Amino acid sequence: MSVPLRWQEPQIIEVPEHQTRRSLRPQSTPLPRTKGRNAWIPLYLLGMAICMAGGFFIGRVPGPGEPALHLVSVPSNTSNVFLANTSVERHVGFVTVTGNVFNRSKVALSNVEIVVELMDAQNRTLKVDSALIADDPLPTGGNSAFSVVVEDDARAARYRVRPRKMFGGTLE
């Protein structure tokens, strides 16, 4: 059994005829207009454009004390592992070396890493870092990409790239 809801009669509010519907809304006071109120917007946009343009180009060009890096040597073409398409980029305090490694041996290679050395003009090692290749194990006749990021040194003028087994084993 249910109890019926109680009806309420609608209440009619009488508004004097001289008041319109618009006059019942709260009135807001307009802000005072000042000349050049939005003059900072073009200056802000110009500043942002300059910062973005500077951000795109900073680190792309070697600084005055940072010569372009030159590749010293790569493993010979007769080794089990062949490096190709090696490129280097200096950017914001780091050097990134990328490329491809090819497996020429008759067995799949596992735990292959690429070692990058940054060297000065007299071929003295300044920084060394390494990274594993993208595909592990590297199948016979297969190839894999690599990317090694090394902290930059302003004295670096050359770099060397070589593959090795993780924990120091050679691949030749």
The reply to whether 32 falls in a domain is no
The reply to whether 110 falls in a domain is yes
DSSP lists the bridge partners of residue 131 as 114
Cβ count near 150 (within 10 Å): 22
> With 0-12 CB in 10 A as exposed, 13-18 as middle and 19+ as buried, what is 118?
buried
Q: Which DSSP string corresponds to 96-150?
A: EEEEEEEE-SSS-B-SEEEEEEEE-TT--EEEEEEEE-SSSSB-TT-EEEEEEEE
Domain of 141, CATH number, reads: 2.60.40.3230
The reply to whether 1 falls in a domain is no
Supply the pTM of this predicted model: 0.59
Phi, psi of 49 (to 5 degrees): -65, -40
Each of the 172 residues of the chain gets a pLDDT tens digit; together they read 566 566 666 666 676 666 555 555 566 666 666 666 677 777 778 878 787 776 655 545 555 545 578 777 665 555 778 888 888 998 888 999 999 998 888 888 888 889 999 999 898 999 999 999 888 888 888 889 999 999 998 888 899 998 888 876 666 5
> Structural domain tally of the chain?
1
Domain that holds residue 135: 70-166
The reply to whether 115 falls in a domain is yes
CA dist 61 → 34, 66, 89 (Å): 46, 9, 10
Tokens 């920084």 belong to 127
